[in-house]
Amino acid sequence: MSFTQELAAHTQELRQQIHAMPFNRALANGSLSPEIFQGYIIQDAHYLEGFARALSLAASKAPEAQSIAQLAGSAAGAIAVERELHAHYMGLFGVTSDDFEGTDVSAACDHYVSFLLRSAAIGDFPEAVTALLPCFWIYRDIGKEIAQTSRADNPYSAWIATYSGEAFDQSVQRMLDLVNRVADDASDATRARMHHAFQRSCWHEWRFWDSAYHREGWKQPRPEDVVTG
Amino acid sequence: MSFTQELAAHTQELRQQIHAMPFNRALANGSLSPEIFQGYIIQDAHYLEGFARALSLAASKAPEAQSIAQLAGSAAGAIAVERELHAHYMGLFGVTSDDFEGTDVSAACDHYVSFLLRSAAIGDFPEAVTALLPCFWIYRDIGKEIAQTSRADNPYSAWIATYSGEAFDQSVQRMLDLVNRVADDASDATRARMHHAFQRSCWHEWRFWDSAYHREGWKQPRPEDVVTG
Amino acid sequence: MSFTQELAAHTQELRQQIHAMPFNRALANGSLSPEIFQGYIIQDAHYLEGFARALSLAASKAPEAQSIAQLAGSAAGAIAVERELHAHYMGLFGVTSDDFEGTDVSAACDHYVSFLLRSAAIGDFPEAVTALLPCFWIYRDIGKEIAQTSRADNPYSAWIATYSGEAFDQSVQRMLDLVNRVADDASDATRARMHHAFQRSCWHEWRFWDSAYHREGWKQPRPEDVVTG
Amino acid sequence: MSFTQELAAHTQELRQQIHAMPFNRALANGSLSPEIFQGYIIQDAHYLEGFARALSLAASKAPEAQSIAQLAGSAAGAIAVERELHAHYMGLFGVTSDDFEGTDVSAACDHYVSFLLRSAAIGDFPEAVTALLPCFWIYRDIGKEIAQTSRADNPYSAWIATYSGEAFDQSVQRMLDLVNRVADDASDATRARMHHAFQRSCWHEWRFWDSAYHREGWKQPRPEDVVTG
């Protein structure tokens, strides 16, 4: 069993829950409300910027030139995807740049980005790169699964085409290969940290979608949380 | 008005809500349940380790030698405080090292630490140091406020003494001075990022205490979050 | 006068000395010894790996998405250029992969890479990006100058074509624009640090070529540096 | 044989050459010229600031709380030592703050600092901490060796007392223990990188002293390095 197969086995339940989320089911059959998708795509833009930063930071620590190029290339690619998808959906839904600029990052998105950047900043390379894997892997698996059943007139077909497509698949495969190579040389302690980072990022993936579906922002103190008098 | 007075003015409501939280009211009159305090002190230990990392990372970028020494000294001091308070309360409440090691970091604590480390890693020095300020400043203000009313037999008097004490007060004053010095030389864009970082850390302070009071761990998918069939 | 014009004015003498170095004059007329060029191209490969790391690290701190993509793209591009030029010259001169792997980085190359990584790690973004500018700018200017006089049968024409070409020119122009944009928002203190970083990297450029021309490795203690008896 | 004994064995010749340098022999018998010592102590101040930054950056990545405190404590301690020794020698030799501020860092000092910061920034923790070891270890060994023969009226007795003293000895021993602990858990590839980082820092130690003895600044192009006409 490869190391990434081990990672998959240890997170099977959570990853299945992500596939089964109402957001993804509604995306698949095209019934997802445009308001929810708009909110999601704005958060995704915030996310992809942070994701690109974390990929770049990890690239700076890669063990050899090929991996620097791969991770830096994925960083540049994440920004490019973000722009294309945005231009498409902002046009489709009539979202303006001002709508986008005026929408604050959600707590779930911000926590995920902070986790990735922290892993890349103070974790070693194996930890950094494994924290970055779920976003590649889960998006591809969701994209491919949805693509099998989605109809041509699905308003979200551009999103589905991006994440089920050949170009993204190749970048995911290179990440899987990189994590497996790194794991081969890693001590047991390092592998344990890789498992932990992977599990945490899978949790953040779930929270990202869950939060987008419920259009959550930042939790605020409720009156009952404050003692008065 | 100094820059730190501006920071205080912009976050007044949230900081007052932190003072008024049931956790802090119950800590003040000694009625806080030992279970909640134990959970809190374990999360605080997780937090102080991350806080010390973020202080160290910020120290590496400080503009001159004095600030490096200040921030690195605070990092070493945070670990020392953590050990003393822990040894004290683990003895008082019969918490073993195994209890501690076996208790996972909470989501609220982990998100806060990730935010601080991200700010120190990819933010510039003014942003990094302003993100670190609320933990100093709010703890001192809570400590001093509680110390005014707390009775000598309060089981949490060691905690109160630490955060209302002279040594901590001096380290807080040095942080306030440092942030004011840095703000004096900062452009408007940098000051805007400093305000943002301060506000976010204040929010994380609130979440940390709120989460400890409600003994929250990591949110999990509920049955209604999953589409079956 | 734009900020990059100021940078150019302050380093005019040193940059002219680089243009006038025997290495570059001999490269231009094709008389550079293959042994010196081989040594240079191996050091250049070591350099480009470190340069790509520093570009990636700077990308992680960029103020907005476009600059992340630009710098990460340049990082991936630096590795691609290194591979193409290497494959070409290793074939041309019969240098094997083993020759390459077996050649240690020179002190001049290592010091330059360390300086870039240090600037990107503990400097703020304006400092990081200005330290990275001379390698772009000086190579383009040398490349273009040499291209004007070099004959078609120059054995170094592939090198000359790379650095005098359109694709490289565009990436240099984007770096100049980025540094100018960043300088527009920078305080005087930040601009002073940008000048300093630029001057240091120009010095390292000179040392890199000077060291390659004289085939220097790592200075070692001489007998007269040691007191015996 | 412990890992640090291995490190010592692999660098025996270079470390002996450092002990035998004229700078250290003249320091031991008090004959070192005040001009050379002044130049050295100014560079040492530049160095200790960078050393403290690198210690702080390494602290942020330490595997557990105790090592964070140790490294951050050493960072704060390095700044404290710098100030004490400086105040002492600036008074003794009549060096003013302006003399100090007006003296640029030497190339040898700057390259060493850049190497340490690069190791701490993109290396993993074992590499970072091993790069930092020579400055502790070599200074202690030089300090103790000199202390055995130095007379009470040696003008450099404050320097000698600092580096041969108990407090410094304890911090060195903690670094040796830390490197040995880290090496115990490290893979062979990691240990190879640790050896490499140690060897490089020993070389920079030699260059630092050699450069201070010869009062070197930054090498500049000579007339014969420039092709004119």
Query: CA angle, D167 as apex, D165 and D173 as ends, to 5°?
Result: 100
pLDDT at B188: 92
What pLDDT is attached to residue D228?
Answer: 62
The closest alpha carbon to A73, from A159, A174, A162, A141, belongs to A174
Res D195 pLDDT > 90: yes
Taking any CB pair shorter than 8 Å as contact, residues of chain C touching chain B are 60-61, 121-125, 185-187, 189
Mean confidence (pLDDT) of chain A = 94
Give the whole-angstrom CA distance, residue A223 versus residue A89: 38
- For an interface test with B, give the residue of C56, C190, C191, C194 to mutate (most B CBs within 10 A): C190
Report yes or no: D186 and A187 within 8 Å, Cβ to Cβ. yes
Among B17, B113, B203, select the one facing A218 at the smallest CB separation: B203
Cross-chain residue pair A72–C76, CB shorter than 8 Å: yes
Cβ–Cβ < 8 Å for A57, B121: yes
Which one has a higher pLDDT value, A106 or B227? A106
Say what the ipTM of the complex is: 0.96
Q: Enumerate chain D positions whose Cβ falls within 8 A of a Cβ in B.
A: 48-49, 52-57, 59-62, 64-66, 68-69, 71-73, 75-76, 79-80, 82-83, 117, 120
- Search chain B and give the residue with CA nearest D53: B60
* A contact test, residue of C48, C64, C79 with most A CBs within 10 A: C79
User: Residue D59: its chain B contacts at CB < 8 A?
Assistant: 52-53, 56, 59, 72, 75
Write down the residue that tokens 């194996």 correspond to: A126
Alpha carbon distance B146, B154 (integer Å): 11
Query: Does the pLDDT value for residue D79 go beyond 60?
Result: yes
- Asked whether the beta carbons of residue C124 and residue B124 sit closer than 8 angstroms, the reply is yes
| SS3 of chain B: helix, strand, coil, percent, to 5 | 80, 0, 20
Chain D positions in Cβ-Cβ contact with residue B54 (cut-off 8 Å): 60
- Cα separation, B24 vs B144, whole angstroms: 12
Query: Is C13 in contact with C190 (CB distance < 8 Å)?
Result: no
Looking at residue B228, its pLDDT comes to: 62
Separation in Å, CA of D227 to nearest CA in chain C: 5
Model confidence at D177: pLDDT above 80: yes
Q: Which of B174-178, D80-84, D143-147, D176-180 has the lowest mean pLDDT?
A: D80-84
Contact (Cβ atoms closer than 8 angstroms) between residue A116 and residue A131: yes
User: Which DSSP symbol is given to A217?
Assistant: -
What CA–CA distance (Å, rounded) separates D229 from B189? 50
User: So what's the pLDDT on residue B66?
Assistant: 97
User: Touching C: which chains, 3+ CB pairs < 8 A?
Assistant: A, B, D
Residues 6 or more apart whose CB falls under 8 angstroms from that of C60 comprise A53, A54, A56, A57, A60, A117, A120, B121, B122, C68
Closest partner residue to D206 among C22, C221, C228, by Cβ?
C221
Neighbour-count burial of A71, counting CB atoms closer than 10 A to its CB (0-12 exposed, 13-18 middle, 19+ buried): buried
Q: Give the one of B72, B79, B82 whose C-beta lies nearest to D56's C-beta.
A: B72
Q: Tell me the average pLDDT across A102-122.
A: 97
Q: What does the pLDDT look like over D84-134, one tens digit per residue?
A: 988 898 888 887 878 777 899 999 999 999 999 999 999 999 999 999 999
Parts of chain C with a pLDDT under 70: 227-229
Whole-number Å distance between alpha carbons of C66 and D59: 32
pLDDT digits (tens, 9 = 90+) for D148-171: 999 989 999 999 999 999 999 999
Report the pLDDT value the prediction gives residue C96, as an integer from 0 to 100. 80
pLDDT at position D224 is 73
The predicted pLDDT at position A225 comes to 72
Please compute Rg for chain D using Cα positions: 18
This model's pTM is above 0.90 = yes
Nearest residue of D to residue C112 by CA position?
Answer: D111
* Minimal CA separation from C229 to chain A, in Å: 45
Contact between D124 and A124 using a beta-carbon 8 Å cutoff: yes
Q: Do B69 and D80 touch (CB under 8 A)?
A: yes
Strand, coil or helix: D11: coil
Q: What is the pLDDT of residue A93?
A: 82
pLDDT at position C228, please? Answer: 62
Contact list in D for residue B84 (CB cut-off 8 A) is none
Q: Tell me which of A182-186, D68-72, D82-86, D122-126 is least confident.
A: D82-86
Q: Residue B217: helix, strand or coil by DSSP?
A: coil
Q: Which residues of A touch D (CB under 8 A)?
A: 60-61, 121-125, 185-187, 189
CA distance A63 to chain C (A): 10
Residues C64-122: pLDDT tens digits?
999 999 999 999 999 999 899 888 988 888 878 787 778 999 999 999 999 999 999 99
Radius of gyration of chain B (CA): 18
Contact C187 B189 (CB under 8 A): no
The span from the CA of D27 to the CA of B3, in Å, is 49
Q: How far is CA A145 from the centre of its chain?
A: 16
Rounded to the nearest angstrom, the minimum Cα separation between B76 and chain D is: 4
User: Collapsing DSSP states into helix, strand and coil, what is residue C103?
Assistant: coil
Q: What pLDDT does residue A112 have?
A: 98
Q: Is C180 helix (H, G, I), strand (E, B) or coil?
A: helix
d(CA A32, CA B13): 37
Q: Could you tell me how far CA B218 lies from the centroid of its own chain?
A: 19
pLDDT at residue D93, as a whole number: 82
Inter-chain residue contact A22 with B207, CB threshold 8 Å: no
Mean pLDDT per block of 10 residues along chain B (229 residues) reads 98 95 94 94 94 98 97 97 87 81 93 98 98 98 96 93 95 98 93 98 98 96 72
- Considering only the beta carbons, identify the residue of D20, D117, D221 that sits closest to C226: D20
Sign of the CA dihedral with C186 first, then C190, C196, and C197 last: negative
pLDDT band at A228, cuts 50/70/90? Answer: low
Q: Do C185 and B189 touch (CB under 8 A)?
A: yes
Chosen from C68, C113, C116 to mutate, greatest number of chain A CBs within 10 A: C68
What is the structure's pLDDT at A125? 98
Select the residue of D60, D185, D189 nearest A122 (Cβ to Cβ).
D60
**D-chain residues within 8 Å CB-CB of A61?**
122-124
Q: Do C185 and B186 touch (CB under 8 A)?
A: no
pLDDT computed for residue B207 by the predictor: 98
pLDDT of residue A172: 98
Question: Partners for A (CB, 8 Å, 3+ pairs)?
Answer: B, C, D
Measured from the Cβ of residue D81, the count of other Cβ atoms closer than 10 Å reads: 19
Q: In order of start, what are the domains of chain C with their CATH numbers?
A: 3-216 (1.20.910.10)
